[in-house]
Structure 1
Amino acid sequence: MSASEEELIGHSYTRARKHPLVIGKLPGAGRLPGGPYTITQVMTMVISFGLLVMTRGLWAHFGAMNFILMALIPWGLAWVLRYARLDGRDPARAVRSLLIYSSTPAQGRLAGKPQRVARPRLATATCTVRVRSADRPAPAAAATKPAPAPVRKARPAPAPAAAAAGRPEPKTGLQALLASLDEQ
């Protein structure tokens, strides 16, 4: 089999390496019934038990069955959470991600702070262009100011080969440089 015909196979072990933190063993090497439990399951059991204790005046009318309900409802919720998966994550992590996503600014963050985009505003500026022709006299305001002396730049001497070849004489320094490069 040549290199171009070789079949490439990729393996991903990421899911197998993600072990949740669990609570499941007792100090005497025994296991909790129904365990091991994730932190999400333990928190669900504690919170639901606390809510049942606080609201027992509303629902606790079954006599001795009240104690069984106070044990079975939290354990049942924890058992359901063991198998509940949202996008491959346990529900507590999915809710946390949803809260983080909903609290993130719409424009994102820049250096840990919410990035603010400035509102667009109308630019108000004026620009006046006055064109003077050479045959028209200068305005009176310009005549009162002394005109600056013209600055003369040294012009490179035209290449003699350019004149001999019938090429026009270069007008700028760049044209002279290009003409001298053509000669070489």
Structure 2
Amino acid sequence: RPVHDAVANDNLETMWLLLSYGADPTLATYSGQTAVKLATSEVMKRFLCDYLLDLQGRSDGDPRTAWDFYSSSVLEGKDSIGYDLLLNPPGSSDQEEEEQEADNFMFEFSDKPLLPSYNLQVSVSRGPCNWFLFSDVLKRLKLSSRIFQARFPHFEIATLPKAEFQRQVSLSQVLA
């Protein structure tokens, strides 16, 4: 309900705050109204649409692939925003837990060597993330490409030219 109130009252600052603390802008009211449908101002509509596009991932051809930040909140005066969004970001109170977990580490046991993963950027609209070679996965599972795609349609399969793959792997910190 707070998200819908902020949108209905065209209060962009409150919307920023709610989203920074994890509010879900996709929830609908009992009558089926989403935040985007409730938005009346062009600024609020554009903000919500861009926010949702960022969550879902933009297409490669989208000219607005990233948000532009023209200044830092440190340099802005108190008059421009009603509160300091960066003063207490979500998760900052977990520092004590992180210090306690600093001595812990995670490892995996396997009767076979783990498949190598590569930290690659396969798309302009997304940053680098870990990927497996499709041939390695198929060999490990002893499946054909067609059977794999039929059994696991939810897995994303991306294509990268061999030269680009080798360039990104050579720049990896692990191999440097």
Shorter-chain TM-score bucket reads under 0.3
> TM-score, with normalisation over the residues of structure 2?
0.16
> TM-score, with normalisation over the residues of structure 1?
0.16
Higher Cα Rg, which structure: 1
Bigger relative contact order, structure 1 or 2 (CA pairs below 8 A, ≥6 apart): 2
